[in-house]
Amino acid sequence: MKLREKLQGIVPDDCLLKLTNRFHIVGDLAILALPDDVGEYKEKIAQGVLSQDKSIRLVLNKTTKLEGEKRVAGFEVIAGSGSTVTEHLEYGFVYCLDVMRVFYSSRLGYERARVAAQVNRGELVLVPFAGVGPFVVPAAARGARIVALEKSREACGWLALNAGKNRVSENIAIINADAATSPTMLKKTFDRAIIPAPYGMDRILEIVSRKVKTGGRVHFYTFKKRHQIEGLLDSYKDMGLEVEHFRRCGNVAPGVSRWAFDMTKL
């Protein structure tokens, strides 16, 4: 039974129309983003989520957008029990994190597996905005050597833990640093860069791609409207990057989607 069907007769119909049947699951946590005008029914909605999926322990409501350097949203607990620390299983890898303290999106699971499948053993790979490791760990498991840049010290701690849990610690060097400093900080050049850039950080592509070898690969994520894509292809070519493949990988706002670009450094 879908969530809206389960809540019929419990929550008014005009409120049900504002709800989605889908919600974000991280480990045993469910994350909702409820409109303000259904606030008085949020506990009943959360109980509906708990009764719908017995694997969920805690239901959170997102109260603010991503904020600050850590890119962490604000949440309130509206049902369930226990802490906001969880373990999330994704394509055979496990990630431990506290959703109140570090950023994580389970919606990019397929993308992380898709990109990792292209990584070859022995490659040297640069991953800025590494977070708790969802792009880092699968690539390291392929036998690549990873330099992971992450500005949040707390996220670096979770990344180190996750590297150990997934038995890939020896393939990962974690650097607590701003990705924008990579050209001056890192002396090596890389076979590949995986760049899950935050919203509004497109400038990082030109900065990080300088550290990729000629003939190397760049995987870049950005947030754009569909009509902007053709112009992006031209701008990437001007940077010395040839786009081999691009795809839309989820909506983030009305008319705005996250796009993935697989490119070769010319």
Tens of pLDDT, residue by residue, the chain (266 residues): 577 777 887 787 777 777 776 788 999 999 988 888 887 888 988 898 898 888 999 999 998 876 555 578 889 999 999 999 999 999 999 999 999 999 998 889 999 999 999 999 999 999 999 999 999 999 999 999 999 999 999 999 999 999 999 999 999 999 999 988 877 889 899 999 999 999 889 999 999 999 999 999 999 999 999 999 999 999 999 999 999 999 999 888 889 999 999 999 99
Residues 6+ apart with CB under 8 A from 68: none
Residue 181 and residue 257 in one domain: yes
- Which domain does 44 fall in, by range? 3-82
With respect to residue 97, please indicate whether it lies within any of the assigned structural domains: no
With respect to residue 98, please indicate whether it lies within any of the assigned structural domains: no
Count of domains in the chain?
2
Radius of gyration of the chain (CA): 20
Cα distance between residue 251 and residue 255, in whole Å: 7
For residue 150, give Cα distances in angstroms to 88, 116, 135. 20, 19, 12
Three-state SS for 196? strand
Residue 148 and residue 241 in one domain: yes
With respect to residue 99, please indicate whether it lies within any of the assigned structural domains: no
Q: pLDDT digits over 115-170, tens only?
A: 999 999 999 999 999 999 999 999 999 999 999 999 999 999 999 999 999 999 99
With respect to residue 138, please indicate whether it lies within any of the assigned structural domains: yes
Residue 208 and residue 248 in one domain: yes
Residue 145 and residue 178 in one domain: yes
| CATH value at residue 155 | 3.40.50.150
Amino acid of residue 38: V
Decide which of 48, 82, 116 is a domain's last residue. Answer: 82
With respect to residue 234, please indicate whether it lies within any of the assigned structural domains: yes
Residue 8 and residue 123 in one domain: no
Residue 48 and residue 124 in one domain: no
With respect to residue 92, please indicate whether it lies within any of the assigned structural domains: no
Specify the pTM: 0.92
- For the record, the structure tokens of 209 come out as 């791609």
| CATH value at residue 26 | 3.30.300.110
